[in-house]
Amino acid sequence: MIWRRTTTLEVLNAMGADNMVGLLDIQFTRLGDDELEATMPVDSRTHQPFGLLHGGASVVLAETLGSVAGYLCTEGEQKVVGLEVNANHLRSVRSGRVRGVCRALHAGGRHQVWQIEIYDEQQRLCCSSRLTTAVV
């Protein structure tokens, strides 16, 4: 297990109540030994003007997953902040929920690199994102 903090899905979901995570209805759904998963609706909150999942919404899901995963790999008063995020949008989505799966590529003491894959309801890869964080 890579996590240094003990938590539950209920605690993780409560963290998003009064911020963008809650606004977009991002829900943490799985906390595995070395990966974190969350879902997000594809609806009017996350659409771009042409009725497709907005690329920026996908990046919000990716950065949320990577930042929370990064925080779970820290201790005490440490926090993480994003340094760089990129995303390759591979497939459009019009409706339903997308699922993000976050795994560590590097979980060091000063910086971290997270790979986040986002899938549609048919389990097709829609977006591949990478987030680099700094531990502060």
Helix, strand, coil percentages, rounded to 5, for the chain:
20, 40, 35
φ, ψ for residue 116 (rounded to 5)? Answer: -125, 120
Count of Cβ atoms closer than 10 Å to residue 87 Cβ: 19
Of 63, 75, 77, 121, the catalytic one is 63
> CA–CA separation, 114 vs 23, rounded Å?
23
To the query of whether residue 63 is one of the catalytic residues in this protein, the response is yes
Instruction: Give the residue numbers marked as catalytic.
Output: 63
